């Protein structure tokens, strides 16, 4: 059996965990630069706020229903996610972290447990430990666990818990489950299936395997078998190395000066270098891009990028910032108002056993020691406390985050104050 544990309205719940006055009030979280709605509490959904809506368009709704809006605080959300996952790891020897707010638990060998009681315990302990409400779905396959979680979360009578532990419950659940909501069935496949009269997950299980394979490939067959209760998707316990790492931001205000954009690009390259070191890899390629605001038809438009193949793969902030600035200077043009810039590194290889260039004159051992010292100091004293001069300290380009909540769990200056 598998359990899928899903955090309810995760970003909004993180904001509420440290501010109980938000309970019962509509809460939304906005994207970078406070642009669009990316998360909503149930109360916000009820007053008609839709996912992805631009904040300026729903200003009347925010005022009318006293909605509390927050800038996205990914530092807080990432730390709270780790706390949730650490708690869930206590309930199963094997856990697959599927996303920032979802995890699968392998319940193989839990045959003597009352799974509904166990699900209630998971839900209660996780919420108590972290302040984040969760829903728990349990079934014989991961795809069915997704279905069970949906019923636990969406049907109030189940109180956040649903277990599919019999064939009768499986059939009953699939007959009420729309085909477009099935894990592994994308938008295009959903349109195809509806065209052939397959409206529910149960309808899909009744189609012939041959037809499914012809129209949805072997992946579609696996999904069908999973819905029939035959496990085909195993737990993925690995921590896969990223094949490319990207760091990009829209500027809080449009920029026209090269030094300001160079400062931003240096920061983006630095974050990429840190992430490479964290997963013990190096990059052979760095790509830098810039562009104007394509939605401002009243302004001149320009977009460009530069790909650079590095002489030797590296994860040194010093080297990556150096090459990123060379790339930026080659594509920057005067007379434009730039909205966004970014850095992407690829051609990622393990940091051990690197093949250096014949003409490589970089003291790599020295770079490694410097980076190790910088990472240790920043871990101890806070992000970017020690940085290259090229990264600057004014951040004139930084995101607009006018509604940012404190980083309660990662910054001593933001730690919550309890008045008694």
Of 15, 96, 102, 226, which is the active-site residue? Answer: 102
* DSSP letter string, 136-177: EEEESSHHHHHHHHHHHHH-GGGTTEEE--SHHHHHHHHHTS
Instruction: Give tens-digit pLDDT for 228-268.
Output: 999 998 887 766 778 889 998 888 888 999 999 999 999 99
Tokens of 334: 């005067």
> Cα–Cα distance between 84 and 5 in angstroms, integer?
10
Instruction: Give tens-digit pLDDT for 273-322.
Output: 999 999 899 999 999 999 998 888 889 999 999 999 998 999 999 999 99
Q: Compute CA distances 120 → 96, 115, 165, 364, whole Å.
A: 20, 9, 15, 53
Residue ranges, comma separated, of all CATH 1.10.150.20 domains in the chain are 166-227
Nearest to 8 by CA among 34, 32, 37, 40: 40
Say which CATH topology domain 2-161 has. Answer: Alpha-Beta Plaits (3.30.70)
Q: What is the pLDDT of residue 61?
A: 87
Determine the straight-line distance between the first and last CA of the chain, rounded to whole angstroms. 46
Instruction: Give tens-digit pLDDT for 375-393.
Output: 999 888 888 888 899 888 7
Region 164-178 average pLDDT = 93
Region 125-145 average pLDDT = 94
- DSSP code of 55? G
Q: Place domain 245-391 in its CATH homologous superfamily.
A: DNA polymerase, Y-family, little finger domain (3.30.1490.100)
Residue ranges, comma separated, of all CATH 3.30.1490.100 domains in the chain are 245-391
Q: Are 312 and 356 in contact (CB under 8 A)?
A: yes
Residue in the block written with tokens 């349109």:
191
102 is catalytic: yes
> Cα–Cα distance between 407 and 397 in angstroms, integer?
21
Local structure of 1: helix, strand or coil: coil
CATH code matching the domain that covers 166-227, chosen among 1.20.58.1030, 3.30.1540.10, 3.40.190.10, 1.10.150.20 = 1.10.150.20
Residue ranges, comma separated, of all CATH 3.30.70.270 domains in the chain are 2-161
Q: What pairs with residue 170 in β-bridges?
A: none
């Amino acid at each position: 059996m598998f359990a899928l544990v899903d955090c309810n309205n995760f970003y909004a719940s993180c904001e509420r965990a440290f501010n109980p006055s938000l309970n019962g009030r509509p809460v939304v979280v906005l994207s970078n630069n406070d642009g669009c709605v990316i998360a909503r509490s149930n109360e916000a959904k009820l007053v008609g706020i839709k996912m992805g809506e631009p904040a300026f368009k729903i200003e009347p709704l925010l005022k009318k229903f006293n909605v509390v809006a927050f800038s996205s605080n990914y530092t807080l959300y990432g730390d709270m996610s780790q706390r949730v996952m650490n708690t869930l790891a206590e309930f199963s020897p094997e856990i697959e972290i599927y996303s920032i707010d979802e995890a699968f638990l392998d319940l193989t060998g839990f045959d003597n447990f009352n799974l509904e009681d166990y699900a209630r315990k998971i839900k209660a302990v996780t919420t108590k430990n972290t302040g984040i409400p969760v829903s728990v779905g349990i079934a014989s396959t991961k795809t069915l666990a997704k279905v069970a979680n949906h019923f636990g979360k969406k049907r109030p009578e189940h109180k956040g818990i649903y277990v599919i532990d019999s064939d009768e419950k499986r059939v009953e659940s699939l007959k009420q489950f729309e085909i477009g909501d099935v894990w592994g069935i994308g938008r295009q496949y959903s349109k195809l299936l509806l065209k052939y009269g397959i409206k529910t997950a149960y309808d899909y299980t009744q189609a012939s395997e041959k037809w499914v394979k012809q129209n949805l490939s072997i992946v579609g067959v696996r999904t069908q078998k999973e819905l029939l209760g035959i496990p085909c998707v195993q737990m993925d316990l690995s921590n896969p190395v990223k094949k490319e790492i990207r760091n990009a931001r829209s500027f809080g205000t449009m920029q026209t000066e090269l030094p300001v954009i160079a400062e931003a690009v240096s920061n983006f390259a630095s974050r990429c270098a840190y992430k490479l070191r964290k997963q013990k890899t190096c990059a052979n390629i760095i790509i830098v891009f810039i562009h104007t605001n394509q939605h401002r038809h009243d302004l001149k438009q320009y977009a460009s990028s530069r790909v650079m193949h590095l002489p030797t793969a590296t994860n040194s902030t010093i080297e990556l910032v150096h090459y990123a600035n060379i790339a930026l200077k080659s594509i920057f043009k005067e007379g434009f108002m730039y909205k966004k810039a970014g850095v992407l590194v690829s051609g990622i290889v393990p940091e051990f056993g690197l093949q250096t260039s014949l003409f490589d004159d970089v003291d790599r051992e020295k770079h490694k020691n410097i980076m190790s010292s910088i990472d240790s100091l920043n871990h101890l004293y806070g992000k970017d406390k020690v940085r290259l001069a090229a990264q600057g300290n004014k951040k004139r380009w930084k995101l607009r985050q006018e509604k940012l909540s404190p980083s309660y769990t990662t910054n001593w200056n933001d730690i919550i104050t309890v008045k008694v």
